[in-house]
């Protein structure tokens, strides 16, 4: 079931188990059941702390992981947790055995305070790189609170449930039988949706930072690391650590790293940041910034963080079409991540809107999964690199339509078509399909800065060669700025530049210098 390399890695992890485990397996006669039986039996052979017991669970094939002598953990895997979910399996084994999850004490307290029963069901695809974050977060909640349970449901194995619940995007989470939400969610995001929000009191006693970084993507991580290496007090406040990189599958242009995946790269960024004495405050959105004696950043929960300097690295998000039907059918046929949601549309007809690199790459990726792809580009020509254009034009199940302005995404309870206007003739045309993937670029996350910082017409923060904005002591880096190119490697470089610029500002500014020496 597992190759020798994976077995060797798993063997090392299993030596870290802190208690005996009982795996209850519900096995049928189908192939997935037999593969699952092979998997759990291999786990049993690899560790004397693991025992497998045949049982009857709510779904077959599935298995639960429980600590011997304790209440049931509530952690269940329905379908094989391989592919991207293999890490979820490993972490579940460790955490159920008693190994403490790496979670902030304040977050643990909020989880353990939940009194009502919460039964989560998380539908995943093994090719989805966002799904494991949701599965792992809900598993942690299940381990920490006996009122909570979570079952990972692999959509390919339980197609009947996918059809019955009309699931068209992963991850999709159900809570107590009702749709709870979809897309990538971290622990703090889930708690916020449950109403278990931070009231900001945990930030009340924080001393001012020498450098406060707003945003935790590649630019923010680099800025924080460069600042901390100077030996000054550094903090990161971020809504989503890793930012857009979490939604990127293949990364092949980071110099020195031939290939990696977005979530893996984010994990390495966070691990590097945590090697330093950096105060990381996740799942917090900035609401306002003001220059007073110090620079004050107000969060949406009302807390105010202060810094002698601030580096803005808030990144960007997917640009939306803004046409009728887009919002209505989000996760009901409208999608933004072909890697995550592509398998849901297997054998169906879809459209990709956008003829840049991301759009053409999405069309190429989807062509191997779906029945047919229609690639729609607003301008007369595709904007993607020549090599990508040649590749997409060679695919028999891809149709390219240029000079097409999408005007509406149609449907009833889910997407059934798309309407576009031929920009040459003015004629309106319709395409029957089941999915629309929108790939039209990014918007900077800078709305909260309106009136406080100088920005260009696109909402990008204007910076000089040191990363400085028009407000002294406030710097910016990455995709939220007016940098010519939006690339991970460029964002990291600009984060380092902004950090060095901020440090130079502090040692030359009288008030800042006095603060550092204090």
| Residue given tokens 């020549």 in the structure block | 386
pLDDT in tens, 476-498: 999 999 998 888 999 999 999 99
How far, in Å, are 153, 271, 309 from residue 265 at the CA level?
26, 10, 27
State the pLDDT confidence band at 433, using cuts at 50, 70 and 90.
very high
For 484, phi and psi rounded to 5 degrees?
A: -65, -35
Predicted confidence (pLDDT) at residue 515 exceeds the cutoff of 60: no
Compute the distance between CA of residue 138 and CA of residue 171 in angstroms, rounded to an integer.
12
What is the spatial distance between Cα 141 and Cα 107, in angstroms, rounded to a whole number?
A: 10
pLDDT at position 310 over 70: yes
Q: Is the separation of the CB atoms in 157 and 79 below 8 Å?
A: yes
List, for residues 34-71, the tens digit of each pLDDT value: 999 999 999 999 999 999 999 999 999 999 999 999 99
| Residue scoring higher pLDDT (420 or 4) | 420
pLDDT, average across residues 339-361: 91
Rounded to an integer, the average pLDDT of 331-349 is 86
pTM of this structure: 0.74
pLDDT at 510 over 70: no
Percent of the chain with pLDDT over 90: 78
Q: How confident is the model at residue 189 (pLDDT cuts 50, 70, 90)?
A: confident
Min mean pLDDT across 96-100, 120-124, 192-196, 375-379 is at 192-196
Is the pLDDT at 198 greater than 80? The verdict is no
Complete DSSP assignment for 74-97: -EEEES---GGGHHHHHHHHHHHT
Residue 263 has what pLDDT?
A: 81
Residue 192 has pLDDT above 90, yes or no: no
Over 60: is that where the pLDDT of 514 sits? no
Q: Is residue 346 predicted with pLDDT exceeding 80?
A: yes
Q: What mean pLDDT, rounded, does the chain reach? A: 93
299 forms beta bridges with: 286
Residue 30 has pLDDT above 90, yes or no: yes
How far lies 341's CA from each of 53, 70, 166, 213, 238, in Å?
34, 37, 13, 32, 26
3-state class (DSSP) for residue 172: strand
- Name the DSSP letter for residue 403: S
**What integer pLDDT is reported at residue 288 of this predicted model?**
97
pLDDT digits (tens, 9 = 90+) for 248-272: 767 878 999 998 888 889 989 999 9
Give helix 131-144 / helix 105-112 axis angle, nearest 10°: 70
Q: In 459-489, which positions are buried (b, 16+ CB within 10 angstroms) versus exposed (e)? A: bbbebeeebbbebebbbbbbbbbebeebebe
Backbone angles phi, psi at 154, to 5 degrees: -80, 115
Distance CA 370, CA 436 (A): 12
pLDDT band at 442 (very low <50, low <70, confident <90, very high): confident
**Encoding tokens for residue 237?**
């406040």
- Residues 95 and 110 sit within 8 Å (Cβ to Cβ): no
Rounded Cα distance, 432 and 416, in Å: 6
According to the model, what pLDDT value does residue 102 have?
86
pLDDT at residue 92, as a whole number: 98
Residue 518 pLDDT = 47
């Amino acid at each position: 079931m597992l190759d020798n390399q994976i077995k060797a890695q798993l063997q090392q992890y299993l030596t870290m188990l802190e208690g005996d485990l009982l795996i209850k397996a519900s096995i049928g006669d189908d192939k997935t059941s037999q593969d699952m039986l092979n998997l759990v039996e291999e786990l049993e052979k690899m560790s004397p702390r693991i025992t497998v017991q045949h049982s009857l669970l709510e779904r077959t094939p599935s298995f639960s992981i429980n600590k011997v002598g304790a209440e049931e953990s509530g952690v269940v895997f329905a379908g094989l947790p391989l592919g991207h979910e293999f890490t979820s399996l490993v972490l579940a084994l460790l955490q159920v055995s008693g190994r403490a999850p790496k979670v902030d004490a304040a977050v643990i307290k909020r989880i353990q305070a939940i009194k009502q029963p919460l039964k989560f069901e998380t539908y995943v695809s093994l090719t989805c790189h966002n799904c494991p974050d949701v599965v792992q977060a809900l598993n942690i909640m299940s381990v920490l609170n006996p009122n909570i349970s979570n079952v990972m449901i692999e959509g390919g194995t339980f197609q009947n449930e996918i059809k019955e619940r009309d699931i068209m995007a992963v991850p999709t989470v159900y809570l107590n039988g009702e749709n709870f939400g979809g897309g990538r969610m971290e622990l703090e995001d889930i708690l916020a949706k449950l109403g278990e929000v931070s009231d900001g009191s945990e930030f009340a006693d924080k001393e001012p930072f020498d450098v406060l970084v707003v945003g935790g993507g590649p630019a923010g991580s680099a800025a924080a690391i460069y600042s901390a290496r100077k030996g000054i007090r550094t903090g990161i406040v971020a809504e989503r650590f890793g930012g857009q990189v979490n939604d990127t599958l293949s990364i092949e242009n980071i110099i020195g790293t031939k290939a990696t995946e977005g979530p893996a790269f984010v994990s390495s960024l966070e691990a590097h940041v945590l090697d330093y004495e950096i105060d990381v405050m996740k799942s917090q959105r900035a609401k306002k910034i003001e220059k007073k004696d110090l620079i004050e950043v107000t969060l949406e929960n009302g807390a105010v963080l202060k810094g002698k300097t601030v580096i803005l690295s808030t990144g960007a998000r997917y640009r939306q079409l803004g046409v009728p039907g887009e919002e209505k059918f989000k996760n009901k046929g409208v999608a933004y991540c072909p890697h995550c949601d592509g398998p849901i549309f297997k054998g169906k007809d879809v459209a990709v809107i956008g003829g840049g690199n991301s759009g053409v790459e999405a069309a190429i990726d989807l062509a191997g999964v779906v029945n047919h792809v229609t690639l729609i580009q607003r301008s007369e020509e595709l904007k993607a690199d020549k090599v990508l254009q040649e590749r997409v034009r060679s695919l028999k199940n891809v149709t390219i339509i240029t000079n097409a302005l999408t005007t509406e995404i149609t449907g009833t309870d889910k997407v059934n078509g798309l309407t576009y206007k031929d920009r040459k003739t003015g004629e309106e045309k319709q395409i029957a399909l089941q999915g629309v993937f929108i790939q039209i670029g990014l918007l900077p996350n800078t709305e909260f800065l309106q009136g406080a910082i100088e920005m260009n017409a696109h909402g990008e923060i204007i910076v000089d060669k040191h990363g400085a904005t028009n407000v002294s002591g406030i710097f910016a880096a990455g995709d939220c700025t007016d940098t010519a190119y939006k690339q991970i490697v460029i964002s990291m470089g600009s984060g380092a530049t902004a950090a060095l610029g901020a440090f130079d500002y502090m040692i030359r500014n009288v008030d800042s210098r006095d603060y550092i020496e204090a």
